[in-house]
Amino acid sequence: MGSVAFLFAGQGAQVPGMASDVKDDPAVKNLFGIAEGIAPGIVDKMLCGTQEELNRTLLTQPTMFLADLAYAYVREKEQGTPACVCGFSVGELPALCFAGALSEEDAFRAIVKRAELMEAYTQRVQGCMLAVVKLPAAAVEELCDGANTHPANYNGALQTVVACRAEAEEEFTAKVKAAGGRAMKLRVSGMFHCPELAPEAEAFEAFLRTLAWKEPRLPVYANLTAQPYAGDPAHILAMQMRSPVRFTATVANMRAAGVDEFIEVGPGNVLTGLVQRG
């Protein structure tokens, strides 16, 4: 018999009003109260903010954290505890919190810190994320130059997201088209999961080491390794900021471990769509 995995949505899935349908759940109310104590007004921004506001990294990350975790709490009550979890990029922190590796307070403080660091980074480095489709990952890797463009998210057999400096966007998009692919700009405010983020990742790791980490109650698959967390969680989570998200390999490893049903927790169904397309 197979088992279920929860997939925690990442940046780009944010929409106005997300989590409004579960805000009255007792566990969700408690979570939102903790968040308000740390970042006053954040729940109102999540429930009532515009798309433009929510697209700003400083708001995207903490609001996505809250929405993901809120939906996970409700789905667990409805369908039981999953066999394992995985979070896509920013979704990895609510996944770790859900699994008990961090308290709600520590995890929310961590996502606020991550958002602050990455917001500052978007001011330091101007760039974007481009979803390249119709080309295999190896072909996309060949198109990247390792300086202005970097493979950032391995989403499927024919979808790889590239972190791209602003000045290289036009040229790289043309290269993709010439190779028979198509590049689409994602709804995020910078270029992430690439070596450009090394200083921010170092600062984030130092912050993560101040938190009280615990053994998770269920396996949490890491973006960095595509395997369940093992070893130093602060280092793994910090390195995730500057490294590609290995989603395709993660799904394959979950299937090999017996998972045959994937439930996305968070707004939308981007991740389950990627799973279905393979």
Return d(Cα 30, Cα 39) in angstroms, integer.
14
Return d(Cα 261, Cα 93) in angstroms, integer.
22
Helix (H) or strand (E) holding 237: helix 233-241
* Spatial CB neighbours of 26, under 8 Å, sequence gap ≥ 6: none
**Catalytic residue from among 150, 189, 193, 243:** 193
**Catalytic residue from among 89, 150, 189, 243:** 89
Helix (H) or strand (E) holding 182: strand 182-185
Known catalytic residue: 189?
Answer: no
Return d(Cα 223, Cα 164) in angstroms, integer.
20
**Domains of the chain by residue range:** 3-124+194-277, 127-185
Class of domain 3-124+194-277: alpha beta
Nearest to 114 by CA among 180, 23, 211: 211
> Which CATH code of 3.40.50.300, 3.30.70.250, 3.90.550.10, 3.30.70.1250 fits the domain covering 127-185?
3.30.70.250
Return d(Cα 265, Cα 8) in angstroms, integer.
5
- 120-137: pLDDT as tens digits: 999 999 999 999 999 999
- 175-200: pLDDT as tens digits: 999 999 999 998 777 899 999 999 99
Q: Tens-of-pLDDT digits for all 278 residues of the chain?
A: 469 999 999 988 899 999 999 999 999 999 999 999 999 999 999 999 999 999 888 999 999 999 999 999 999 999 999 999 999 999 999 999 999 999 999 999 999 999 999 999 999 999 999 999 999 999 999 999 989 999 999 999 999 999 999 999 999 999 999 999 999 998 777 899 999 999 999 999 999 999 999 999 999 999 999 999 999 999 999 999 999 999 999 999 999 999 999 999 999 898 998 998 86
Cβ atoms within 10 Å, residue 180 = 9
Which residues partner with 183 through β-bridges?
Answer: 132
Known catalytic residue: 89?
Answer: yes
- The DSSP symbol for 87 reads E
